[in-house]
Amino acid sequence: MTTSSTVESPAAAPLLDLHALVVAVRRRRRLWCSLALLGLLAGAAVAVLRPPPPTAVTEVLVAHQEDQPNDPGTLIRTDVALLHTTRIAGAALKSLHSAEAPEDFMRDYQGAGLTNNLMRITVTGASDAEAVARAGALADAFVADHVRRIQESANAEAKALLDQRDRMQGELAQVNKAIGDGTPQSGPKESADLESLFARRAELTSRITDFSQRAADARIGTPRLVAGTQIVDAARPVRHSLPRAAATDAAIGLVLGLVLGLAVAAVGAVVADRPVLRREIAAHLGASVLAELPHRPGRRRRSRAAHERLTAFLARTVHGSPEPVSLLELGAARTASALAVDLARALAERGRPVTVVDGLPGTELSGRRPRPDDPAVIGGEEAAGLPRHERWIGVGSVAPGTAWTDLRHLGTRTVLVVRAGHAGTAWLHTVARHLADQRVPVLGVVLVDPDPRDRTDGTLWDGQRTARRGADERPARLNGTGPRWTELPPTRAARVPDSDQEAR
């Protein structure tokens, strides 16, 4: 238990408490660690049981007529798309003398543009030799198809230019004929017509020469593009390392499993709405946290020391009080039973023998092996037969299915032994409401299995239902208007699990 502070009102509580969420996810580390380990093993198993098929790669240099330095890769993406066509796949299968359907073959290879002019082709097969043969045939088919398309484009462009040149040559012949058929008269009109014909002939001659040059250039550029399109890296098999593949797949599986586990733990924590912080549990139950105990202690000496400190504190609290006290558990039946027996033994050492009334639904207390110095343990149905002067400590449960009217028969005051993260917010409210209806004051809460990194406060210092931690004091008002509180005696409470420190 840490230093005191005022409990926040429900209206001031955030919609999503990230601190509580982190703590809840950390408490579910078994879940996400298990999923991460499962992903690790699954990734390694996939690498071992399903090794990659034999693969071959080859690289092709592709030259384009429209190549530009600032090309964003559109042309090479077009070549990759053309690679996945039935025409190229069929040509490759034809060169391999294979009866496989081009559609099926297209699922066994893929292309990727490395640069604007370099394309890598990856092909799988039944063996390394088959994969290499299929990659080479596919690269040859693509190069042949690309060269054919270049030549067809160049021939079509040259033919269009030559057709235009031939049309202009016909028009030039007509102009020459008109010049030759002209009259030798030298009138102004005839001179103007003749000059127009000569100008037209000069223009047609220039354009015919230009079209002839452009047609020649179109054909001259084709060999450059054809020579520039070639296989620069012959088909070769890809060597796979099983240890490296297993390590890579295991790492991927580990990351995916960890992410999935964290997501499941976070969603489960939000949906379940089970408080784990001292501050939240104290606020929902309306009682202060007296001490913290481990659920499954790993270091027996420190765990026993924490139990002894808590037992001594409870013995001092209930000693001399004529009213019976009960220990009501919520998810911590074993801890409550052991605490009740230790408390009865401590009171017996103080000269006040008590009887333990077992009101637990199971056999956690009645089925334990008794020791010579253990107190008498009777069932809940036998508690009514105890004399009024007889002292007893009741042990019961406030889990779902509790008979609320029987709680007061176990003790008119109670200490709640609650396991952190066991019950939801709604059930904690239900427990606090029913105990208030039965007029059973709560001396405090013993928190079992707390988060070791929890630094929140679990003490209530104001509010209408402040926990009483000593004798049966009643809340007082300051000047009739101030907040209510309980004046606490200078007692010392047990501290966090597995620690020798004490909280005051």
Q: pLDDT digit string (tens) for 233-292?
A: 999 999 888 889 899 999 999 999 999 999 998 888 888 888 888 888 888 898 888 888
pLDDT tens figures, 382-424: 666 666 666 778 888 898 888 888 888 888 889 999 998 888 8
| 305 and 266 together in one domain | no
| 88 and 183 together in one domain | yes
C-alpha 121, offset from chain centre: 35
Other Cβ atoms closer than 10 A to 270:
13
Q: Which of 251, 271, 66 is nearest to 149 (CA)?
A: 66
Is the whole model's pTM more than 0.85, yes or no? Answer: no
Task: Give pLDDT, residue 360.
Answer: 84
Amino acid sitting at position 398: V
| 428 and 453 together in one domain | yes
Q: Is residue 467 part of a domain?
A: yes
The whole-number average pLDDT for the span 157-185 is 78
Question: How much of the chain exceeds pLDDT 90, in percent?
Answer: 27
The whole-number average pLDDT for the span 176-205 is 74
Q: Is residue 100 part of a domain?
A: yes
Domain count, the chain: 3
Task: Give pLDDT, residue 175.
Answer: 80
pLDDT tens figures, 121-142: 999 999 999 999 999 999 999 9
Q: Which domain holds residue 250?
A: 17-52+241-272
Residue 216 and residue 307: Cα distance in Å, rounded?
A: 102
φ, ψ of residue 218 in degrees (nearest 5):
-60, -40
**Beta-bridge partner residues of 327:** 395, 415
pLDDT at 14 > cutoff 50: yes
Domain boundary among 216, 251, 272: 272
| 257 and 323 together in one domain | no
Q: Which of 429, 452, 457, 425 is nearest to 295 (CA)?
A: 452
Q: Which of 299, 324, 301 is nearest to 440 (CA)?
A: 324
φ, ψ of residue 39 in degrees (nearest 5):
-65, -40
Task: Give pLDDT, residue 176.
Answer: 82
Q: Is residue 12 part of a domain?
A: no
- Predicted confidence band at 221 (pLDDT cuts at 50, 70, 90)? low
pLDDT at 475 > cutoff 80: no
- Predicted confidence band at 342 (pLDDT cuts at 50, 70, 90)? confident
pLDDT at 111 > cutoff 70: yes
| 281 and 391 together in one domain | yes
Task: Give pLDDT, residue 153.
Answer: 80
Query: How does the average pLDDT of the chain come out, rounded?
Result: 79
Task: Give pLDDT, residue 341.
Answer: 85
Task: Give pLDDT, residue 183.
Answer: 57
The whole-number average pLDDT for the span 76-100 is 93
| 479 and 388 together in one domain | yes
Answer left, alpha or beta for residue 361, where phi above 0 means left and psi between -120 and 50 means alpha.
alpha
| Residue 159 structure tokens | 């033919």
- Predicted confidence band at 333 (pLDDT cuts at 50, 70, 90)? confident
| 380 and 338 together in one domain | yes
Task: Give pLDDT, residue 8.
Answer: 46
pLDDT at 15 > cutoff 70: no
CATH for 167: 3.30.1890
The whole-number average pLDDT for the span 88-98 is 94
Task: Give pLDDT, residue 272.
Answer: 80
- Predicted confidence band at 368 (pLDDT cuts at 50, 70, 90)? low
- Predicted confidence band at 370 (pLDDT cuts at 50, 70, 90)? low
| 293 and 440 together in one domain | yes
CATH for 487: 3.40.50
Task: Give pLDDT, residue 2.
Answer: 40
Q: Is residue 179 part of a domain?
A: yes
Task: Give pLDDT, residue 503.
Answer: 33
Task: Give pLDDT, residue 113.
Answer: 92
Residue 371 and residue 493: Cα distance in Å, rounded?
A: 27
| 191 and 340 together in one domain | no
| 47 and 192 together in one domain | no
| Residue 376 structure tokens | 């008498």
More confident residue, 225 or 257: 257
Task: Give pLDDT, residue 7.
Answer: 43
| 384 and 456 together in one domain | yes
Task: Give pLDDT, residue 65.
Answer: 80
The whole-number average pLDDT for the span 181-200 is 71
Q: What is the 3-state secondary structure (H, E, C) of 432-462?
A: HHHHHHCCCCEEEEEEECCCCCCCCCCCCCC
Task: Give pLDDT, residue 487.
Answer: 35
Q: Is residue 181 part of a domain?
A: yes
The whole-number average pLDDT for the span 170-189 is 73
Task: Give pLDDT, residue 209.
Answer: 85
Asked if 442 and 414 touch (Cβ cutoff 8 Å), the reply is: yes
Task: Give pLDDT, residue 186.
Answer: 60
Residue 173 and residue 184: Cα distance in Å, rounded?
A: 20
Q: Is residue 11 part of a domain?
A: no
Give every CB contact of residue 79 below 8 A, 6+ residues apart in sequence. Answer: 62, 111, 113, 119, 142, 146
Other Cβ atoms closer than 10 A to 119:
22
